[in-house]
Amino acid sequence: MSDQPSYRGRVLIIAGSDSGGGAGIQADIKAVTMLGGYAATAITAITVQNTLGVHGVYPLPLDLIEAQARAVLDDIGADAIKTGMLGSTAVVERVAAILDSSSAPAVIDPVMIAKGGAALLADDAVAAVRSLMIPRAALLTPNAPEAEALTGIAVADLDGQRRAGEALLAMGARAVLMKGGHVPGATVVDLLLTPTGETLLEGERFDTRNTHGTGCTLASACAAGLAKGLPLEAAVAEAEAIRRAPGLGGGHGPLDHGWPVRDRK
């Protein structure tokens, strides 16, 4: 792997492409770039997608996925790796091998279902994510439905978040960020768990349709922070991208990843 110690912040993103630009690779690149990192990619699938939903998914060949990642790691290098949509057991297995070839910490976003409800992970691949990706996660970032699918534990309140997060730690994740967006309540509580304790990140819940790409954006923001050498707690600090959403499209709108640039003008 290329060794370029003069620059920290390189993030290799292994995920699917979203033609609408709100989620997937496109959201990942925006998030990493806006946080001062350098984003490189290995695309796992091409999706036909907009704010109204996912209209088609076209997986890329395994060798092509790996070739993209190897080209980046062998030349540019990576200070963190972020994974998103993997889609199948075969892709999970190949990506696990890629992670094993790098010393960079991995932020694993266990993408299963798109915001509009389309399945982005085959049912038989959930076990592969459980056995291969969770133990390789420096940080795992599941929402409540994903955590329930991975652990079998109901996540309907903070206690459920805590119990599911502890189960995921027991499966081998080094840290778990239990996202609280799907958990009912007047506020949203994200729960960061590590073997040494927990941190609650609480914020106001506000009503908006502009939530497309929230999971991708958060996981990539975490990866960017880790790549720059930030402590884990700082890397998962809350962002403003949802509140600044531009209101595009007729469905689940994208976020505004570029708000810091406009605020500086």
Assign 211 a pLDDT band (cuts: 50, 70, 90). Answer: low
For position 241, what pLDDT does the model report? 43
Q: What's the whole-model pTM score?
A: 0.86
For position 177, what pLDDT does the model report? 95
For the chain, give the mean pLDDT. 85
Q: How far apart are CA 221 and CA 31, in angstroms?
A: 6
- Say what percent of the chain tops pLDDT 90: 58
Question: How does pLDDT run across 127-171, given as a tens digit for each residue?
Answer: 999 999 999 999 999 999 899 999 999 999 999 999 999 999 999
Question: How does pLDDT run across 168-209, given as a tens digit for each residue?
Answer: 999 999 999 998 877 767 677 889 999 999 988 876 666 665
For position 247, what pLDDT does the model report? 52
Cβ atoms < 10 Å from Cβ of 160: 18
For position 238, what pLDDT does the model report? 42
Q: Return the active site residues.
A: 179, 211, 213-216
Assign 226 a pLDDT band (cuts: 50, 70, 90). Answer: very high
The candidate with the shortest Cα–Cα distance to 133, out of 88, 164, 163, is 88
Rounded to 5°, angle at Cα 65 from 52 and 108? 65
